[in-house]
Structure 1
Amino acid sequence: MPIYWNTKIVTVELESTYGTDATPDGADAILTVEGSITPMEGNDVNRNLETPWLSADATIPAELHAKVSFKVELQGSGTAGTAPGWGKLLRMCGCAETVVASTSVTYNPVSDNHESGTLYFYVGKTLHKLVGTRGNAKFMVSAQGIPYIEFEFTGLFTDPAEATRPTPDLSAFLKPSLATSANTPTGTINGTDFVIRALSLDLGNQVENRFLIGSESVLITDRQEVIEATVEAQPLTSFDPYALARAQSEVAVVVAHGTSAGKIVTLTAPTAQMQRVQGLENAQNITEWPLRLVPLASSGNDQWTLALT
């Protein structure tokens, strides 16, 4: 019997002890888009044997780890103050989660004590387990498209095995709304309203495999966030990105998607440095700016927030 790719199941749970299997079950299922796995990444150490004949050399697999990537729809839980089904994924990407009951859930970057998780990736009945998993995330909003968070995770390797497939509970993942003028009412840079084609924030996490004697781990060792936005150009008397870039100006970027309580997602970068404008684009004979901004920290770990209200 063939194994059908589109029937895969992903479950995730946060670890209380790094690298210890948190045994996620069907209640911890993630509704994924375009999921993929490279199940046995690493290096092949050549033995460099000297033999009396010419032949290929034997190798030993080393630094074994696995990578999983997928997207999730950027949609709130439907209830203000209740974390979304994808919240634990952001926590595994070096983010803190702050819940204000009945009001909001807010995510922001943190510089230490990064949480890790166990990720189960089922393909048919074959279970790939990633433990000690951490990763990177990218928020993406495109006109007339579904807003997404794109994740890439790296975890320690465990031997795949046949297992009983769980029954996934995906009730925490609500139907999304498209990014339109009605559904995405706010899109400003430096307080100026823009017509936006696309906007993204890449957390830019530097995810490192650290395999030493006595310790094997996946760490987030640095980050370099970047915002990229394609917007309709304006007269320079209204907004001058060239002058802002020359002055190394820090501007606020705010995008809000959703209009009903529990489904409003607001991405804010209060002090983003405008970078050089590296070209102009033509879409439907309309001039567009490809803007690039770098979120900078003010007092630390405040370069961006994602608030669900």
Structure 2
Amino acid sequence: MRDLSYMLAIPEVTYGTAPVMAAASDTMEIFDYRPEPAIYDEQPRRAARIFPGARAAVMTRGRQRHVFKYDLRGSGTATVPPRWTRFLRASMFGEAVPAADKVDYPLLSSEDGGSLALIGQKDKLRMTPAGVRGNNRFVFEEGQTPYGEADFLGLLPALPTSQAPGAPVYPSEPASEPVSTENTSFAINGFALLLRSFTLDLGMKTSFRSLVGGKRVIFDSNQSGDRRELGGRIVAELPDPAVKSFFQQIDQQTPVSLSFLHGSEEGRRIGIASGQMHLKPISLSDEQGQLMMTADYKLVPIATNIDVVLTTS
């Protein structure tokens, strides 16, 4: 099948109300797009019958799910946010804040501060969810270009339609750079591990909430949807314990610092930092005769909305 997938995305001012979108300013370049165009709860009809067989159902609580990936790259200008960072607004991030030589992405304490409206195009199928919220996960693997994975849930204000693909206008941003010694630096407590891969998962879990008079997508704290699962995984060559050992920090759950920077030059950099990384127990494996460590981690806030510091520059 031809891959004619693309998306338009824009932050909402009022939850569930889609602003006007334009291809020239709102096209998002995505790949591996796997939408679920219409999801329902089924309410079986309960009328008694004198004969056996299946009963019809009423479809209720319609919503949409949109799962896709996108390249992680800079905008080309240190103080201009790359377009993919709009997806952060669906995951309890506030508006981007340009500074002198970078852009900061502040975290929020409530989902009330952010949601997206989308136009999703999959071949001739067009979907227009509003009130979109969900999770983002970032993947950095040596030798590969980095990417993000989105898993979004949205309202179903209108059923999908058949519409010929339009003419998306992709942002003129620099191409993604591969994760490498030249382009990437990574350190825990100032020690530069020999890194195979690094992932950051925002850990957001959504639920569809439907009441008479109002529907919305919420971050469900009963499912650890309020950043309690913020963390990820590190795969790296195990350092000589005589040089650097993390076992004591793991044993005592002593926090360590995280510093990650990807991008070769100004306008192409993505930074991730935390002062409270809690490593989980290490598992070992062999790679080309070298001992490798795999460690999951969580990022714990040091103050309100300082769980992780995300920047582009």
TM-score class, shorter-chain normalisation, is: over 0.9
> Where do residues 40-51 of structure 1 align in structure 2 (5 Å cutoff)?
40-51=38-49
* Corresponding residue number in structure 2 for 1:306: 310
Q: Is the 8 A contact 2:5 2:30 kept in 1?
A: no
The separation in 2 between residues aligned to 1:173 and 1:119, in whole angstroms, is: 21
Q: Which runs of 5+ in 2 are unaligned?
A: 221-225
Q: Residues 25, 125 of structure 1: CA spacing in aligned structure 2 closer, same or farther, 3 A cutoff?
A: farther
Q: Which residue of 2 aligns with 1:292?
A: 296
Match of 2:274 in 1: 269
**Residue pair 2:5, 2:122 contacting (<8 A) in 1 also:** yes
Give secondary structure in 2 for the equivalent of 1:291.
Answer: strand
Matches within 5 A, 1:203-218: 203-218=202-217
2-structure distance, mates of 1:193, 1:87? 27
In 1: Cα distance, 2:252 partner to 2:7 partner = 46
Match of 1:250 among 233, 250, 255: 255
- Aligned CA-pair RMSD: 1.5
Residues 42, 241 of structure 1: alpha-carbon distance in 2 compared, 3 angstrom cutoff: farther
Percentage identity across paired residues of the two chains: 23
Report the TM-score, using the length of structure 2 for normalisation: 0.93
SS in 2 for 1:96: coil
Deviates more, 1:49-58 or 1:118-127: 118-127
Q: Is 1:159 paired with 2:159?
A: yes
Q: Aligned pair 1:19/2:16, yes or no?
A: yes
Instruction: Give the equivalent residue in structure 2 for 1:90.
Output: 88
Q: What is the Cα deviation at residue 164 of structure 1? A: 5.4
Query: In terms of mean alpha carbon deviation, does 215-224 or 132-141 score higher?
Result: 215-224
Query: Which residue identity is paired with 2:65?
Result: K
Q: Which moved more, 1:26-35 or 1:121-130?
A: 121-130
Q: How far off its partner does 1:269 sit?
A: 1.8
Is the contact made by 1:231 and 1:290 (CA closer than 8 Å) also made in structure 2? yes
Shift of 1:58: 1.1
Could you list the per-position Cα deviations for residues 86-136 of structure 1 after superposition, in whole angstroms to 9, with x for gaps in the alignment? 121111211124423552111242111331111111123331111111111
Once the two structures are overlaid, the 10-residue window that deviates more, 109-118 or 68-77, is 109-118
Q: Which residue of 2 is the match for residue 230 of structure 1?
A: 235
What secondary structure, in the 3-state scheme, does the structure 1 residue paired with 2:129 have?
strand
Question: Does the CA contact (< 8 Å) of 1:258 and 1:265 recur in 2?
Answer: yes
Q: Deviations over 1:111-167 (max 9, x none)?
A: 113311111111233311111111110111000001111111110112112345432
Q: Aligned partners of 1:90, 1:209: CA distance in 2, in Å?
A: 19
Q: Greater strand share, 1 or 2?
A: 1
For structure 1, the residue ranges without an aligned partner over 5 or more in a row are none
Matched, 1:123 2:127: no
Matches of 1:71 and 1:12 in 2, distance apart? 14
**Distance in structure 1 (CA, Å) of the matches to 2:289 and 2:44:** 56
One-letter code aligned to 1:54: P
Contact 1:23/1:118 (CA < 8 Å) preserved in 2?
A: no
Structure 2 letter corresponding to 1:275: K
Q: Secondary structure at the match of 1:168?
A: coil
Q: Per the alignment, do residues 19 and 305 of structure 1 end up closer, same or farther by CA in structure 2, a change over 3 Å counting?
A: same
Q: How many residues align?
A: 304
2:223 match: none
Q: With structure 1 as the length reference, what TM-score do the two structures score? A: 0.94
